[in-house]
Homo-oligomer: A and B are copies of this chain.
Amino acid sequence: MKKRGTPPTVSEVARAAGVGTTTVSRVINGGDRVSPKTLEHVQRVIDAMGYRPNQAARVLKGHRTKTIGLVIPSIADPFFSSCAEAAQAVAQANDSLLIVTASHNDPHSELENLNILISHRVDGLIVAPANSQSEALQDLLRRLSVPVIAVDRPVADSLVPAVLSDNFKGARFATQHLIDHGYKRIVCLTGETTLFTIHERMRGYRAAMEAAGMPATLNTSVKDYRSAEYAIQSMLSGPNPPDAIFTLKNSTTIYAFEVLLKLNVPIPKAMALLGFDDFELASTVRPSISVIQQPVEEIGRVAAELLFEQLLGKRGAHAPQKAKRPRMVTLETRLIQRSSCGCTPAGS
């Protein structure tokens, strides 16, 4: 008989405590305007009954739900789970809950997730848009009555603030770094090219190569280990084999790395490797892999902070707010110099 009872309500508590519902309500909400004696008494009854205020009722009274929604491609992806962790921490600090849904980069699933979150009346949303260009997404966001922040990828042509790393600059810097090392034929392995971030990184690579008067060579065929092996083998046996590889995403970096190991191509002696995006064991593998590191947690944190800033700003909405609603926050990336690009002596 311990479980499965209807949860107690204010009036039940009130009756049990011999007071009015108002008093109970006051006790829950800080206990102002209640005599210390009644306060303690009621509190005791509340504890005894295991009473918890029903959020739904509060919400119905027009209050915030104290929930925010996060729509990301995948929860298991380290990048987004770190984002989520950071966002959750901020939410917690703001007395809110984080609801996470995975879109798997499918625009349709994404819209559905958003609709459900909206119908749950989340106070705000953080979204990593599956497709930055989607009209349907823009429409939906436009008519939304809660603030939205985009992460990792912006929403095209919209008023949605975005928090992302400077993919262009990071990639340009990475490419320039390889150029500075003296490599002459630097190819770029993109992986899938549908994502905004990848496009930006491609731009960055091109920019650096052009500025150096070197020909840009992009290979978009790498999707798994097999395709990586094929691509790299083709290059090596081709007329003008590269001496450095710049990979635009985690998995591509790892595939390339494994292929080079497999083919016994010395890194970086015969082939340098530099990847976009850090990953856990990049420093443990031999040789350790140099990467462009994104401020992952910061992206999640800043996005959530921005969101709550808007949320709280709206509350005290007497004046048109300090008009500081940034359209776009671009966070700097860092080059982590390890061995694979030729920076650290292969020894350590």
Contact = CB atoms under 8 A, between A and B. Distances in A.
Taking each of A5, A280, A314, which has the highest tally of chain B beta carbons within 10 Å of its own beta carbon? A280
Interface in A118-169: 118-121, 142-145
A120 B95 CA distance: 12
A258 B280 contact: no
A331 interface: no
A82 B76 contact: yes
Interface string A1-42: 011111100000000000000000000000000000000000
Q: How large is the interface on A (under 10, 10 to 19, 20 to 34, 35 or more residues)?
A: 35 or more
B254 A281 contact: yes
Interface string A94-111: 000111111000000000
A346 interface: no
Contacts of A284: 254, 257-258, 261, 281, 285
A102 B119 contact: no
A326 interface: no
Contacts of A195: none
Given A284-B257, A285-B284, A97 B117 contact: yes
A48 to B, nearest CB: 10
Interface string A61-81: 000011100000011101001
Contacts of A329: none
A145 B3 contact: yes
Nearest to A118: B52
Contacts of A89: 102
A228 to B, nearest CB: 13
A88 B102 contact: yes
B6 A56 contact: no
A285 B280 CA distance: 12
Given A2-B142, A144-B3, A81 B76 contact: yes
A119 B261 contact: no
Among A2, A76, A84, A281: residue with most chain B CB under 10 A: A76
Given A74-B85, A280-B281, 15 more contacts: A4-B145, A5-B145, A7-B145, A52-B115, A54-B59, A54-B121, A55-B56, A55-B119, A75-B75, A76-B78, A76-B81, A76-B82, A84-B100, A261-B286, A279-B280
19 contacts: A3-B145, A5-B145, A6-B145, A54-B60, A56-B60, A66-B120, A67-B99, A75-B85, A75-B88, A75-B100, A97-B99, A97-B117, A98-B99, A98-B100, A254-B281, A254-B284, A258-B284, A279-B280, A285-B286
